[in-house]
């Protein structure tokens, strides 16, 4: 029996495609995750400290951009699988019902209440959407921190007139 296709297959395919692209080295960061970045320290930081802040905030921003892109890829694959399975279940339900057809909302309720696989996929998709939103918020935070530090560096290099 052939194994059913699922969103995990799309993710595996994407990873294989990524690995097949030549000459794109992986970027590694060896920052200790326990290190905290206190943004309040930026105000009195020396130029050397600002360089470190720029690299740490910028590096973390880059990592978060990749995390958000990865979440978007997974979410897209989950959505495609959900849509396909839901549409098939909807068509089957409509064929099986004789007489008055249920409304779209009623049909959705019937489908979701009787299909454990769709329920689990919907939950997983909802969790991935929440994770993506959370990481997008962190990305915005790190982007703003990096932009602010860049402005401080620009003002210091320009000099105050």
For the segment 30-85, what is each residue's pLDDT rounded down to a tens digit? 666 556 777 888 888 888 889 888 988 898 899 999 999 999 999 999 999 999 99
Residue 93 predicted with pLDDT over 90? yes
Residue 35 lies in a domain: no
Residue 91 lies in a domain: yes
pLDDT at 38: 79
pLDDT at 157: 82
> How would you class 79 by CB atoms within 10 Å of its CB: exposed for 0-12, middle for 13-18, buried for 19 or more?
middle
Residue 37 lies in a domain: no
Residue 57 lies in a domain: yes
Residue 31 lies in a domain: no
First CA to last CA distance, the chain: 77
Q: What is the pLDDT of residues 102-155, one digit of tens each?
A: 999 999 999 999 999 999 999 999 999 999 999 999 999 999 999 999 998 888
Task: Report the predicted TM-score, pTM, of the whole model to 2 decimal places.
Answer: 0.78
Residue 13 lies in a domain: no
Instruction: Using the Cα atoms of residue 107, residue 109, residue 113 and residue 115 in order, give the sign of their dihedral.
Output: positive
How many domains, in total, are found in the chain? Answer: 1
Residue 10 lies in a domain: no
Query: Which residues constitute the domain of residue 88?
Result: 46-158
**Residues in CB range of 1: below 8 A, 6 or more apart:** none
pLDDT at 12: 83
**Residues in CB range of 47: below 8 A, 6 or more apart:** 153, 156
Residue 54 lies in a domain: yes
Residue 43 DSSP code: T
Strand ranges for 80-140 from DSSP E: none
């Amino acid at each position: 029996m052939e194994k059913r296709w699922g969103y995990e297959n799309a993710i595996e395919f994407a990873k294989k495609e990524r690995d097949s692209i030549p000459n794109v080295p992986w970027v590694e960061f060896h920052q200790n995750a326990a290190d905290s970045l206190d943004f309040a320290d930026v105000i009195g930081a020396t130029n050397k400290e600002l360089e470190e802040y720029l690299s740490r905030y910028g590096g973390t921003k880059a990592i978060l951009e990749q995390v958000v892109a990865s979440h978007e890829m997974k979410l897209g694959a989950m959505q495609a699988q959900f849509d396909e399975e839901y549409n098939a279940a909807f068509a089957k339900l409509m064929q099986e019902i004789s007489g008055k057809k249920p409304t779209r909302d009623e049909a959705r309720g019937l489908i979701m209440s009787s299909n454990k696989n769709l329920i689990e996929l919907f939950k997983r998709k909802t969790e991935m959407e929440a994770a993506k939103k959370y990481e997008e918020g962190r990305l915005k935070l790190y982007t703003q921190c990096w932009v602010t530090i860049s402005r401080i560096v620009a003002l210091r290099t320009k000099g105050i007139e």
